[in-house]
Chain A
Amino acid sequence: MVTQADDPALHDAFDDLVTNDGRVEPRDWMPDDYRKTLIRQIAQHAHSEIIGMQPEGNWITRAPSLRRKAILMAKVQDEAGHGLYLYSAAETLGVSREQLTELLLAGKQKYSSIFNYPTVTWADVGAIGWLVDGAAITNQVPLCRCSYGPYARAMVRICKEESFHQRQGFDVLYTLSRGTPEQHAMAQDAVDRWWWPSLAMFGPPDSESAHSSQSMAWGIKRFSNDDLRQRFVDMSVPQAEVLGLTLPDPDLRWNDERKHYDFGPIDWDGFKEVLAGNGPCNRQRIEHKRRVHADGAWVREAATAYADKHADATMVRA
């Protein structure tokens, strides 16, 4: 007997759809591996947005002005929103929000390694906006055309909002860079520390990327890690010049033959350590998330109790 999972007609219809740049929607048949890959990727993306609130949230109370504080709060609130769009997209694949949260808290699903670095000065808020969000946008714009409809739609919303994030970061650095010598040095120090980790955000080189080719065939991924990294470097160099800041890479120079900037080798061993859980803040990030999740339990319980008490025609049990 042919089960649904290995019915060749379903496989063919799916392959046709993705090959012709069609969109897969939640209730369509899809290969198990496609579903698993998407759940892994969307969940990791959602977790990154949620954990990503911590390094910047760290500076809300110490933002240098009311204006900067209001902007930073709006940005951190956006990150929460992005996490929710993405959890909502992941749930269309048959996992629950609660399952995903538990996997994150148990350390069984990852978030982007970039958030395991500390934000030690105010300038780090600027560097995160300019470089980290800039790298994220470079990665995410092609995802707006991802073959899975709900993920693509979430990415459209996210990319629109990320543009504000990147500009506010640039604005922070631009202001510091033209301030006092101490402020300029602070901006330079932040860029020195965030540049290489930002390049690592694009993932391992194409020659070593575990999931790339299958994801490309499925229309989940549109460009290779190295292509996107190059695109980011090419955009960032002229922006750094406007900022009056240097990028910490002695090998960085324009290659007129390639029409791209050449850049130096990335220290992958160092990044693998962070990925393996030994970065400066890995433990702190997850412990913080566990604690606030536990601290918020009474709110969830109270809201459920209130809903039960006022249950009316619109109330639906899960």
Chain B
Amino acid sequence: MTDDRREWPLWEVFIRSRRGLAHNHVGSLHAPDAPTALRNARDVYTRRQEGVSIWVVPSTTITASSPDEKDSFFEPAADKVYRHPTFYDLPAGVQHL
């Protein structure tokens, strides 16, 4: 055990698996700084060429919606079915619409 028990910060890791796709969250890791977090993310999450690009983001900087407010937070979208094309009945014979 060391005297300096300060734990390294946690980083969230996002990987673009190939060009043309978005970065996806794959997990997290601890590292003392951003360059080390990137290197560690490469070793932990891309040992089999799972990625062509990596983002590491300090976990503490992520702002997330709260699961407790899930219903009220997402509720406004629930009664707007007219936003979906399937809401509309088309007369018979209409094509390319």
* Chain A residues proximal to chain B, CB less than 8 Å: 25, 27-29, 74, 77-78, 81, 84-85, 88-89, 91, 96-98, 153-154, 161, 294, 297, 300-301, 303-304, 306-307, 310-311, 314-318
Contacts of B27 in A (CB 8 A): 85, 88-89, 153-154
Contacts of A28 in B (CB 8 A): 67
Q: A27-B66, A77-B47, A91-B28 are in contact. Are A318 and B33 (CB under 8 A)?
A: no
Q: A77-B47, A78-B47, A297-B1 are in contact. Are A303 and B7 (CB under 8 A)?
A: no
Give the Cβ gap from B72 to chain A, nearest Cβ, in Å.
Answer: 15
Give the Cβ gap from B95 to chain A, nearest Cβ, in Å.
Answer: 40
20 contacts between A and B (CB under 8 A): A27-B66, A28-B67, A77-B43, A77-B47, A81-B47, A84-B44, A85-B44, A89-B27, A161-B47, A297-B1, A300-B2, A300-B8, A304-B4, A307-B32, A311-B33, A314-B34, A315-B33, A316-B58, A316-B61, A318-B8
Nearest 3 interchain pairs by C-beta: A307-B32, A307-B33, A316-B58
Q: Tell me if A91 and B32 are in contact (CB < 8 A).
A: no
Residues of B1-59 at the interface with A, using a CB-CB cut-off of 8 Å, are 1-2, 4-10, 27-30, 32-34, 36, 43-44, 47-48, 58
Q: A294 to B2, alpha carbons, bound, how many Å?
A: 8
Q: Tell me if B8 and A310 are in contact (CB < 8 A).
A: no
User: Which of the residues B7, B48, B61 comes within 8 Å of A97, measured between beta carbons?
Assistant: B7
Give the Cβ gap from B83 to chain A, nearest Cβ, in Å.
Answer: 25
Contacts of A304 in B (CB 8 A): 4, 6, 8, 32
Q: A96 to B7, alpha carbons, bound, how many Å?
A: 9
Encode B66-83 as 1/0 by CB contact (under 8 A) with A. 111000000000000000
Assess whether B63 is interfacial by the CB under 8 Å rule: no
Q: Tell me if A306 and B33 are in contact (CB < 8 A).
A: yes
Assess whether B86 is interfacial by the CB under 8 Å rule: no
Q: Tell me if B29 and A88 are in contact (CB < 8 A).
A: yes
Q: Tell me if A306 and B32 are in contact (CB < 8 A).
A: yes
Q: Tell me if B47 and A310 are in contact (CB < 8 A).
A: no
Give the Cβ gap from B2 to chain A, nearest Cβ, in Å.
Answer: 4
Contacts of B90 in A (CB 8 A): none
Q: A27-B67, A85-B27, A88-B28 are in contact. Are A310 and B33 (CB under 8 A)?
A: yes
Q: Tell me if A316 and B9 are in contact (CB < 8 A).
A: yes
Give the Cβ gap from B13 to chain A, nearest Cβ, in Å.
Answer: 9
Q: A88 to B66, alpha carbons, bound, how many Å?
A: 21
Q: Tell me if A318 and B9 are in contact (CB < 8 A).
A: yes
Given contacts A25-B67, A303-B36, 15 further A-B contacts (CB under 8 A): A77-B47, A81-B47, A84-B44, A85-B27, A97-B30, A98-B7, A161-B47, A300-B2, A300-B8, A306-B32, A307-B32, A311-B33, A315-B34, A316-B9, A316-B61
Which of chain A's residues has its CB closest to B47's CB? A81
Q: A77 to B45, alpha carbons, bound, how many Å?
A: 12
Q: A315 to B28, alpha carbons, bound, how many Å?
A: 16
Assess whether B64 is interfacial by the CB under 8 Å rule: yes
Which of chain B's residues has its CB closest to A4's CB? B68
Contacts of B30 in A (CB 8 A): 97
Give the Cβ gap from B34 to chain A, nearest Cβ, in Å.
Answer: 4
